């Protein structure tokens, strides 16, 4: 046992570069990911999305809205067929 004669301190610096380079690359690409790889406007805002109805009255209102929309499309389609 010769005291503090460690091999780490006997190197000429190449080994520390081999160790620090991957760590530096991982640090550079691992920080600030939200700003670096984000696409602005990709996800819709909560007010732009459809709200899923869970209550009984909300479900009935949504079904009625879909039924009216379907009947309006059917009426427009029938008008178009009659005009031709």
Residue with tokens 């459809």, as numbered in its chain: 50
Domain boundaries, the chain: 7-83
Residue 32, pLDDT > 70, answer yes
Global pTM? 0.42
Q: How far apart are CA 38 and CA 32, in angstroms?
A: 10
Q: What is the pLDDT of residues 40-73, one digit of tens each?
A: 888 888 888 888 889 999 999 999 999 999 999 9
At 10-22, the pLDDT tens digits run: 666 677 778 888 8
Which one has a higher pLDDT value, 13 or 78? 78
Contact of 62 with 56, CB cutoff 8 Å: no
DSSP string covering 48-68: GSPPPP-SHHHHHHHHHHHHH
Q: Check whether 26 has a pLDDT greater than 80.
A: yes
């Amino acid at each position: 046992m010769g005291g503090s004669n460690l091999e780490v301190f006997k190197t000429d610096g190449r080994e520390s570069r081999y160790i620090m380079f991957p760590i530096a690359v991982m640090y550079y690409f691992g920080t600030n990911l939200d700003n670096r790889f984000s696409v602005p406007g990709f996800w819709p805002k909560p007010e732009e999305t459809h709200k899923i109805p869970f209550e009984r009255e909300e479900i009935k209102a949504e079904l009625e809205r879909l039924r009216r929309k379907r009947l309006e499309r059917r009426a427009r389609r029938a008008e178009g067929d009659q005009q031709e």
